[in-house]
């Protein structure tokens, strides 16, 4: 770096410790950033679409994750480069907002960067490229609105929702049971949805998994499943019309908070202490009985004496239930969480039609099912599978499907999948490019080319000849003026995605294009990177 001199001719320092920093400027900086972004996109490119491959990631402590959910792959990959971290953030924001399309958004951003690199080599200024991309993304956004279709569904006719969830699940490892899982996801969302306000609270859907059984044993329970069993083996395993006391206070004699010491020097004193304790327990259990509770769910434990007394008084109890589960149980049964015994009243009890304990296989695993609740707003999806990784992946896949169903309840517009929406946008953007004078025209055309990368990747992953397939579909769209032609990934024999029932949500697609464009604009505007050099 050139030295700077003050008016007396003495050199002075501009950048502190500059020999310890590396600095990349101008076009080199942009090229380095673009290649970093593209490297991330290249990793995800192969896991796009129904024939996409899965990635296996091993964390430092030896946990193995197998997934093809874009956001999960990028979260688990330990990315070091700053620009690559932007791509990770990109897929994360798509995951938070829409929940689906996390792979596509990164592939899209990678393609835009690739096109931008070509334009930069032609000597076009990065800001002009960014502006051209911005215009093109607006054209594509509006075009998606035009080709989208509304589809009607009601609480009784859920078929369209199931079809869309099946599209989401078809790219996952669980695609052999996609019909059943899609139905479970839709029913779960409709159970907690508020159709008048068009709002869905996904926190009310609990997804539990247990290793064992097969994927087909996955079920939807209108109620709560708790991974606990009754505190005493002889307590009843099935309680009908249960009245549930939900406690967050421990079932044991009170202890002073300060340090204390009890001096006992005679047998009599010990006896009185023991009787006092027993009296305490008796009062506690009696209090629960008086209120009319037939099941106690406690956040803390209780000692064996309390357990024994509860058993004698025929009051089944469950201990060590976590806080989140307590809240869900309270929401489902309409009960109140009680922090002190003195405050127990009959109004605060939750009601459930059936509480049963179910054991699995030959193991001693038992779980509590709380069903037929007063407020059926909380549901549980209970997943079974051959191994832990399978269950984790199924949870992630179901999360995507739940998000899609939620988005459709919020906004019931759809576009067709299989790359048809992207191809249609590409044609529209290409046609619109001629209307813009100036250098932006090039950028808009490049945007149209970048949009083709998603159908290209789909064709590539499906083992078709990418360029031939894409050009054939594109010409068919133009000829028939039919924006629903896409890549026939599953080899059904028709390119019309309407016939194949491959849907995607409109807001998901729009979000993909907007987010990808924003990130690419940001990367293009960086022209100087100062980083501490690696020692």
Q: Which residues contact 70 (CB under 8 A, 6 or more apart)?
A: 44, 47, 91, 94, 95, 102, 103, 104, 105, 106
Query: Please, which pLDDT band fits residue 64 given cuts at 50, 70 and 90?
Result: confident
Is 152 buried (19+), middle (13-18) or exposed (0-12) by CB count in 10 A? exposed
Number of separate domains in the chain:
2
Bridge partners, residue 23, by sequence: 530
Q: Do 230 and 370 have their domain in common?
A: yes
- Do 352 and 429 belong together in one domain? no
Active site residue 282: no
Position of tokens 């059904």? Answer: 492
Distance of alpha carbon 223 from alpha carbon 335, whole angstroms: 14
Burial class (CB in 10 A: 0-12, 13-18, 19+), 485: buried
Q: Residue 479: which CATH number?
A: 1.10.560.10
Whole-number Å distance between alpha carbons of 405 and 203: 14
Q: Are residues 281 and 342 in the same domain?
A: yes
Contact 477, 485 (CB under 8 A): yes
For residues 253 and 2, which has the higher predicted lDDT (pLDDT)? 253
pLDDT at 18: 64
Tell me how far CA of residue 443 lies from CA of 124, 270, 279, 315, 451, in angstroms.
Answer: 9, 88, 82, 73, 12
Which segment, 169-173, 443-447, 500-504, is predicted with the most confidence on average?
443-447
**Same structural domain, 241 and 348:** yes
Selecting among 95, 100, 229, 400, the annotated active-site residue is 400
Asked if 201 contacts 237 with a C-beta cutoff of 8 angstroms, the reply is: no
534 confidence band (pLDDT: 50, 70, 90)? low
Q: Would you give the DSSP letter of residue 336?
A: -
> Of 359, 375, 391, which marks where a domain is finished?
375
The per-residue pLDDT for 27 is 85
What is the average pLDDT score of the chain?
84
Question: Are 192 and 379 spatial neighbours (Cβ–Cβ below 8 Å)?
Answer: yes
**What's 299's domain CATH number?**
3.50.7.10
Tokens of 54: 């899965």
pLDDT in tens, 182-199: 888 888 888 888 777 878
Same domain, 248 and 371: yes
Q: Any residues with CB less than 8 A from the CB of 260 and at least 6 apart, and which?
A: none
Residues 346 and 245 grouped into a single domain: yes
Structural contact between residues 344 and 292, judged by C-beta atoms closer than 8 angstroms: no
Say yes or no: 63 and 126 in one domain: yes
Does residue 286 form part of some domain?
yes
pLDDT for position 142:
92
> Per-residue pLDDT tens for 246-261?
888 777 766 677 777 7
Flag whether pLDDT at 82 surpasses 70.
Answer: yes
Q: Are 404 and 127 in contact (CB under 8 A)?
A: no
Residue 62 within a domain:
yes
467: number of Cβ within 10 Å: 12
Query: What ranges in 148-238 are assigned the alpha helix state H?
Result: 159-169, 178-192
Q: What is the pLDDT of residue 110?
A: 92
pLDDT digits (tens, 9 = 90+) for 305-345: 778 878 888 888 888 888 888 888 888 888 888 888 778 88
Residue 121 and residue 240 in one domain: no
Asked whether residue 369 falls in the same domain as residue 473, the answer is: no
User: By residue range, what is the domain housing residue 460?
Assistant: 21-150+416-532
Is position 206 within any domain? no
With a cut of 90, say whether residue 266 has pLDDT above it.
Answer: no
With cut-offs at 50, 70 and 90, classify the pLDDT of residue 13. Answer: low
Residue 94 lies in a domain: yes
Residues with Cβ within 8 Å of 64's Cβ and at least 6 positions away in sequence, in order, are 56, 57, 58, 389
Burial call 258-289: b when 16+ CB within 10 Å, e when fewer: eeeeeeeeeeeeeeeeeeeeeebbeebbeebb
User: Is residue 12 predicted with pLDDT exceeding 60?
Assistant: yes
Least confident span in 145-149, 208-212, 301-305: 301-305
Catalytic member of 69, 100, 229, 488: 69
- Strands of 314-385 (E only): list them: 317-318, 337-338, 350-359, 366-373, 379-385
Structure tokens at 431: 């046609």
CA distance 64 to 78: 14
453 has pLDDT over 60 = yes
| 85 within a domain of the structure (yes/no) | yes
Is 304 part of the annotated catalytic residue set?
Answer: no
What's the pLDDT at 314? 82
pTM of the model: 0.82
440 and 366 in a common domain: no
Model confidence pLDDT, tens digit, residues 509-527: 898 999 999 999 998 988 8
Residues 121 and 118: their CA atoms lie apart, in Å, by: 5
Whether 164 is catalytic: no
Decide if 380 is catalytic. Answer: no
> pLDDT of 354-413, one tens digit each?
888 888 777 677 888 888 877 767 888 888 888 888 888 888 888 888 888 888 888 888
pLDDT in tens, 19-30: 677 778 888 888
Cα 281 from Cα 303, distance rounded (Å): 10
pLDDT at 109: 92
Contact assessment for residue 370 and residue 224, using Cβ atoms and an 8 Å cutoff: yes
Q: Which residue has the higher pLDDT, 134 or 280?
A: 134
Compute, in degrees rounded to 10, the torsion defined by CA atoms 86, 89, 94, 97. Answer: -130
Q: What is the mean pLDDT of residues 91-102?
A: 86
Angle at the Cα of 174 from the Cα atoms of 172 and 179, rounded to 5 degrees: 105
pLDDT at 9 over 90: no
Is residue 3 assigned to a domain?
Answer: no
* Catalytic-labelled residue, pool 46, 103, 164, 294: 103
pLDDT of 418 over the 60 cut = yes
Say whether pLDDT at 202 is over 90: no
Determine the Cα–Cα distance for residues 457 and 513; give it in Å rounded to an integer: 16
* Confidence (pLDDT) at 2: 58
Integer angstrom CA distances of residue 154 from 160, 198, 241, 533: 10, 12, 32, 60
How many other CB atoms sit within 10 Å of the CB of residue 416? 26
What is the CA 72 to chain-centroid distance, rounded? 9
Percentage of the chain with pLDDT > 90?
11
Q: Is the pLDDT of residue 1 over 60?
A: no
297 assigned to some structural domain? yes
What is the distance between the alpha carbons of residues 392 and 263, in angstroms, rounded to a whole number?
A: 54
- Predicted pLDDT of residue 516: 92
Confidence at residue 111, expressed as pLDDT on a 0 to 100 scale = 92
Judgement on whether residues 245 and 362 belong to the same structural domain of the protein:
yes
- 46, 72, 102, 469: the active-site residue: 102
Rounded to whole angstroms, how far apart are CA atoms 1 and 9? 17
Does any domain span residue 171?
no
Q: Which residues pair with 25 in a beta bridge?
A: 528
243 and 133 in one domain?
Answer: no
Find where tokens 């951003």 sit: 109
Q: Which residues of 82-105 are buried (b: 16+ CB within 10 A; e: fewer)?
A: ebbebbbebbebbbeebbbbbbbb
């Amino acid at each position: 770096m050139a030295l700077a001199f003050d008016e007396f001719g003495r050199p002075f320092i501009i950048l502190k410790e500059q020999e310890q920093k590396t600095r990349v400027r101008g076009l080199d900086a942009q090229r380095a950033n673009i290649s970093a972004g593209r490297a991330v996109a290249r990793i995800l490119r192969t896991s796009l679409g129904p024939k996409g491959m899965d990635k296996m990631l091993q964390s430092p402590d030896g946990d193995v994750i197998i997934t093809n959910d874009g956001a999960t792959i990028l979260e688990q990959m330990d990315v070091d480069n700053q620009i690559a971290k932007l791509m990770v953030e990109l897929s994360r924001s798509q995951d938070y907002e829409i929940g689906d399309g996390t792979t596509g958004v990164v592939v899209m951003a990678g393609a835009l960067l690739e096109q931008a690199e070509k334009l930069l080599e032609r000597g076009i200024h990065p800001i002009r490229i960014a502006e051209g991309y911005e215009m093109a993304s607006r054209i594509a956004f509006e075009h998606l609105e035009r080709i989208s279709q509304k589809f009607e569904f009601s609480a009784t006719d859920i078929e369209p929702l199931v079809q869309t969830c099946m599209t989401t699940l078809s790219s996952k490892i669980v695609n052999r049971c996609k019909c059943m899982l899609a139905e479970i996801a839709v029913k779960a969302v409709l159970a907690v949805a508020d159709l008048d306000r068009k709002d869905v609270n996904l926190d009310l859907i609990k997804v539990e998994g247990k290793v064992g059984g097969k994927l087909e044993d996955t079920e939807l329970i209108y109620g709560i499943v708790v991974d606990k069993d009754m505190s005493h083996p002889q307590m009843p395993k099935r309680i009908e019309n249960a009245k549930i006391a939900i406690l967050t206070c421990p079932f044991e004699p009170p202890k002073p908070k300060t340090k204390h010491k009890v001096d006992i020097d005679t047998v009599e004193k010990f006896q009185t202490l023991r009787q006092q304790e027993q009296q305490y327990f008796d009062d506690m259990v009696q209090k629960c009985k008086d209120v009319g509770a037939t099941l106690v769910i406690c956040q803390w434990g209780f000692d064996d004496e309390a357990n024994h007394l509860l058993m004698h008084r025929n009051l089944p109890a469950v201990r060590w239930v976590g806080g989140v589960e307590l809240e869900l149980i309270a929401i489902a049964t309409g009960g109140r969480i009680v922090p002190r015994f003195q405050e127990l009243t009959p109004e605060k009890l939750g009601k459930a039609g059936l509480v049963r304990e179910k054991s699995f296989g030959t193991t001693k695993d038992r779980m509590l099912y709380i069903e037929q609740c007063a407020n059926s707003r909380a549901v549980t999806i209970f997943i079974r599978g051959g191994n832990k990784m399978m269950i984790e992946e199924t949870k992630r896949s179901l999360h995507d499907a739940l998000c899609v169903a939620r988005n459709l309840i919020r906004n019931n517009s759809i576009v067709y999948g299989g790359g048809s929406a992207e191809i249609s946008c590409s044609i529209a953007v290409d046609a619109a490019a001629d209307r813009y004078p100036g250098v932006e025209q090039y950028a808009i055309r490049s945007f149209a080319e970048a949009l083709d990368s998603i159908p290209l990747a789909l064709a590539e992953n499906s083992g078709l000849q990418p360029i031939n397939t894409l050009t054939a579909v594109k010409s068919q769209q133009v000829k028939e003026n039919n924006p629903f032609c896409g890549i026939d990934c599953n080899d059904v024999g028709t390119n019309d995605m309407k016939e194949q029932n491959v849907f995607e949500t409109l807001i998901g697609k729009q979000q993909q294009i907007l987010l990808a464009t924003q990130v690419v604009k940001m990367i293009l505007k960086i022209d100087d990177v100062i980083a501490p050099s690696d020692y």
